[in-house]
Structure 1
Amino acid sequence: MADNQPLKYTVTHYRQKQHTHEAFINWIVDVHLPTAMPVLKKHGVLEYSLFVTPAALNGALKEEVGKFRPTWDFADFDCFIEYTIPDMQTIKNVMGDPDWAVAIKDQDDWVDMERALVSLGYCTPYLLKTGEVVNLKK
């Protein structure tokens, strides 16, 4: 890993069961993100993406791929959040910001916080949207 390569910080979230998947995603996009985005930008978060994983798609995936890979576990969380950050300090800065506390003030009503899964690493692309293959030895 190059010292200057951005990091990927990911968080998976399950919704609280009293909410539908759709209502949960709407809460993230319409309520949480408008207050979170200024904090993320202030602390130098480079990118944010929300990977939404509806049960119907995961169920279909399990049904099809499970035939070929019966020992695999299939994700059942509601979403996967990916932050691209310059360094680990960025996470600490965001979480320590008083405005972040405002942005997550009602997360316990929406997010099953005991089931979150986090990871930190880096991403190397090999196939671009353009169809170009990159980062492979010639």
Structure 2
Amino acid sequence: MAENKQSEPLRFTVTHYRKPEHTHEEFINWIVNKHLPVALPIFRRHGIQEYKLFTTPANLNEGLKAAMIERRPTWSFADFDCFIEYTLPSLECVANVMDDPEWPNAVADEPEWVDTSRALCSVGYVTPYLLKTGEVVNMAK
């Protein structure tokens, strides 16, 4: 049975790998200090409600892998550099951003930084079950 959550915002995600000639730190610096200042006004103009950048430094992933190897030996561990999460009212927002006349400028140097052939996208809904406050929600009472 398909989920029907039309009134809830969508979460659109993209994983990115950096080009190998750049360090993880240089890559994240490029996103935050070069790409986002140009991209954020475009996102806002087309109804993107939130943008979150989840960075995944190799040392943390390697540490997690070492800690989990005996507990979950069949698990694989992501090796991408970041995971971007957008909150939006509809997928039309993504198309509108990409069709914006200023978008080519926002991604002009992307080929130098991002291995776009390895990008992975997903779309869906978020349902919280445990809040920062410790409260459990969305569970049968």
Q: Same fold (TM over 0.5)?
A: yes
Q: Hey, which of these two has a bigger chunk of helix by percent? A: 1
Task: Tell me the residue number matched to 1:50.
Answer: 53
Task: Check if 1:103 corresponds to 2:100.
Answer: no
Match of 1:122 among 117, 121, 125: 125
Task: Check if 1:135 corresponds to 2:138.
Answer: yes
Give 5+ residue unaligned stretches, structure 2.
none
Give 5+ residue unaligned stretches, structure 1.
none
Deviation at 1:2, TM superposition (A): 2.2
| CA offsets 1:64-122 (integer angstroms, 9 cap, x no match) | 11211111110000000000010011111011111111101100100001100000001
Amino acid at match of 1:63: A
Match of 1:32 among 31, 35, 41: 35
Q: CA RMSD in A?
A: 0.7
Task: Check if 1:86 corresponds to 2:65.
Answer: no
Aligned length: 138
Task: Check if 1:112 corresponds to 2:115.
Answer: yes
SS at match of 1:67: coil
User: Percent of aligned positions with the same letter in both sequences?
Assistant: 59
Task: Check if 1:68 corresponds to 2:80.
Answer: no
Match of 1:20 among 23, 32, 56: 23
TM-score of the pair, normalised by structure 1: 0.98
Deviation at 1:130, TM superposition (A): 1.0
SS at match of 2:102: helix
Moved over 3 A (4+): none
**Following the alignment from structure 1 to structure 2, what is the Cα–Cα distance between the partners of residues 2 and 75?**
29
